[in-house]
Every structure is written in structure tokens, then in C-alpha cells.
Amino acid sequence: MTRFSVLDLAPIVEGSTAREALANSLDLAQHAETWGYTRYWVAEHHNMQGIASAATSVVIGHIAGGTTSIRVGAGGVMLPNHSPLVIAEQFGTLESLYPGRIDLGLGRAPGTDQITAHALRRTLTSEVDDYPRDVVELRNYFADPEPNRRIHAVPGTGLKVPLWILGSSLYGAQLAAMLGLPYAFASHFAPAALDEALATYREHFQPSTQLSEPYVMVGFNIFAADTDEEAKYLRTSSLQSFLKLRTGNPGPLPPPVEDLESRLSPQERQLLGQITASTAVGAPDTVSKELCAFIERTRADEVIVSSHIYQHEKRLRSFELAAQIGAELSSEPA
């Protein structure tokens, strides 16, 4: 049975504030819990005028504190921006406050541009092996205490917060397989290497104390509405935002517009073509067919759904329809 989860970009829409975005995220999480989603993840982005989740662990605490059962986590924390000990302490604290509900997904990208990355880290000098070494160090902080260990994550030691490796290339797939960790592929915005990465992960997976067999999560964009036409209209906010990001001009999520297709240049059409492989847009029947085909193709254990929509009520409706579709697909005989 395929599980379904929520990836929330905590969108700051044009004309609103980060405060409103974070209130909307909590409202969505509370609805997602009642709709049966497995987990609710937010991601680390910096210097992004349209995303309110830069302080990711703080946002996770906000969401977990306003819900009761849904798992809450990072999809993900960009580990090169932080020391492993600091992340262990932050997520050890979260796990202590909300036991059994916290996930820690790890990425190796900066989650921003190079200038902002330098402001975060103060130095961009690193070795190729730093990221795998940092993941192992972080995992060790969550392990049971060992004799003669001089540095402890407090809270953190012994809590075994589950780690995930995130990625959009073969690098993350290979690392997740080597360490025996669950693997989440960012197919919702970078689907090009999806099939090869999943094959690599499954072929080379080594069991660990956390995970005995491969476990794959894939990102998928859903823009669901009561009609195909409305869904296509709602998606235009996300398309505009993607184009602005790719052309170096990110900003708050813009409102949807009519007839966006006619305004696009050939170059813009080519850019948007990169993300259509992991996207379903339309009424429930349309979305169900696309999602079913995607699950059959990837054999995913879990699908994490993104629905980047300008109006909060329409975003809620999209996630509600996605949950209904997911429940129907999961109940169908294999």
C-alpha cells in the first residue's frame, strides 16, 4: 500500500506576510492530519521571498505543537549549512517534545544561491567526503551512549530520530543505499534522474539498524480542483513562480492568471517542460490516472504531494482531493 504525505513550501503569497504563511501551514497540517496523510514536511530555503520555512526546526515545532498524530519533519535540512551537533540538538529537542513524530530528511545542496550560502556558512570550502561524514556523525549523536564518548547531543542521545536522505541525482541514491536509510527523490521539481536513481538505490541497498529493506518516497505535484479548467488556472501561480526562480528573480507566489500559455516564450516552455513528468493537473479523475501511472512506474512506497497554490482555500481543496484519490488508489487490489 502506498502512503501519502504533504510537502509544504510555506508559501508567502503576493500581498501577504510570513506570519500569515505560517498560520496557513498550521491550518493545512491540521487538515492533513484529519485527511489521513502520513507525514507533513517543510524544507529549508534561504533568501527566498516566497518561502517562510528558513528556520526549519522552528517551523516543525510550530506544526507539531498544533497537531497530535501526524509525523512532522524536514524535507529537508541542508546539512552543509549546519554542524551535525547543532542539528542533533535541535531535532533531539523536537523528538523529546513530540516523541515518535519527528523525521529528519537531509540534503546536501545549500537551499539558496552561492552568495547567501556564504552568508550562512562564512566559508564554502569543503571536501567531497564532508556530507557523508556529517550524516554519519549526526546519526551517531542519536545512537545509544557509548563509553568514553566526550560529546553528546542533549537532548538527542539515544533518541534514534529517523534519518532520510534526499536527492535529485545518483549521489543521494548511492549514499542512502550505502547507509541503509530511506530515500526521498525530489521528482516534483527535478525528475530527470528519477528512474536511474531509484534503480541504483534499490540495487545497492544495505540493511541497517534503522531500515531492513529499501524504502522510497517520491515527490509529486498535484493541482486538483473540481474541474480540469480550474486546476489548470490555479497551477499558473506555481508556473510563474518556477520561471522567476529559474531566471534568477524569485519572489512571493503570484496570483493565477488566465491564458498563461500564450504569453510564454519558447525558452520558458522548455523550462516548464522539465517539471511536467511528475505533475498531475485537473479534476479527480484526471489526477487519479496520472498519479496511478506514476506510482506504477516508480513502485514508490510513499508519495509526498506538493500543491503550490495561491489561495489558501483552493490549496486546502487540492490536498483534500489528493487525499481522497490516494485513499482510493491504496484500497485497490494490487
Task: Read off the pLDDT of residues 203-228 as tens digits, 9 standing for 90 and up.
Answer: 999 999 999 999 999 999 999 999 99
Q: Which of 192, 211, 230 is the last residue of a domain?
A: 211
Total number of residues shown for the chain: 334
pLDDT of residue 13: 97
Domain hosting 295: range is 215-334
**CATH number, residue 249:** 3.20.20.30
Q: Which of 141, 161, 181 is the last residue of a domain?
A: 161
pLDDT of residue 249: 85
Give yes or no: residues 2 and 128 share one domain. yes
Give yes or no: residues 50 and 127 share one domain. yes
DSSP 8-state code for residue 227 = S
**Cα gap 278→75, rounded to integer Å:** 17
pLDDT of residue 125: 58
Q: Which of 161, 181, 196 is the last residue of a domain?
A: 161
What nine digits make up the cell of 297? 512506474
Q: Identify the segments of the chain with pLDDT beneath 50.
A: 111, 128
Give yes or no: residues 205 and 130 share one domain. no
Give yes or no: residues 5 and 101 share one domain. yes
> Which SS3 state, helix, strand or coil, does residue 281 take?
strand
Split into its structural domains, the chain has a count of 3
pLDDT of residue 269: 84
Give yes or no: residues 109 and 135 share one domain. yes
Question: Nearest to residue 141, comparing CAs of 117, 123, 159?
Answer: 159
Phi-psi region of 102 (alpha: psi -120 to 50; beta: other; left: phi over 0): beta
Give yes or no: residues 179 and 257 share one domain. no
